[in-house]
Amino acid sequence: MPAPFRILLVEDEAVIRGLVETLLTTAEVQVECASSGPEAIKRAREAPFDMYLLDIVLPGLDGVAVLRMLRADPQNADKPVYMLSAKQKSADMETAKRAGATGYIAKPFRGVELMDLVAKHRSAAQGG
């Protein structure tokens, strides 16, 4: 059996963190969580993940700053990074895109959309 597809979920709201973790965790997908920008960078440098889900509004460093640091790190430069945010202004989406976001998921989002997105990237990572 291949190694699980590892996702780092960076979200400061405990309820959302718990819901997303429960929704996505399966035998094939391992979700780990961070609740601040600095914690996310530390975890990503220790052991890069296969995919990142970043809230934009975070304590310490915002999600866009974390995204820029991930893109500057050769171990993480090509990993899919999706921004999760209640901010739905086109300027916020454009800022995330310019910083290198793979995509932007507006809160509230539907669980099935997130599950499909993860399944697509997991399959691609495993050569499927």
Is residue 44 in a domain? yes
Is residue 87 in a domain? yes
The single residue listed with the structure tokens 């086109």 is: 90
Q: Which domain holds residue 67?
A: 5-123
- Model confidence at 113: pLDDT above 70: yes
This prediction has a pTM of 0.93
- Model confidence at 106: pLDDT above 90: no
Q: Which of 15-29, 59-73, 82-96 has the lowest mean pLDDT?
A: 82-96
Higher per-residue confidence, 27 vs 43:
43
CATH number of the domain enclosing 32: 3.40.50.2300
Instruction: Yes or no: say if 40 and 47 are a contact pair by the CB < 8 Å rule.
Output: no
Say how many domains are in the chain: 1
User: Residue 109 has what pLDDT?
Assistant: 84
User: Residue 87 has what pLDDT?
Assistant: 67
Is residue 128 in a domain? no
Is residue 24 in a domain? yes
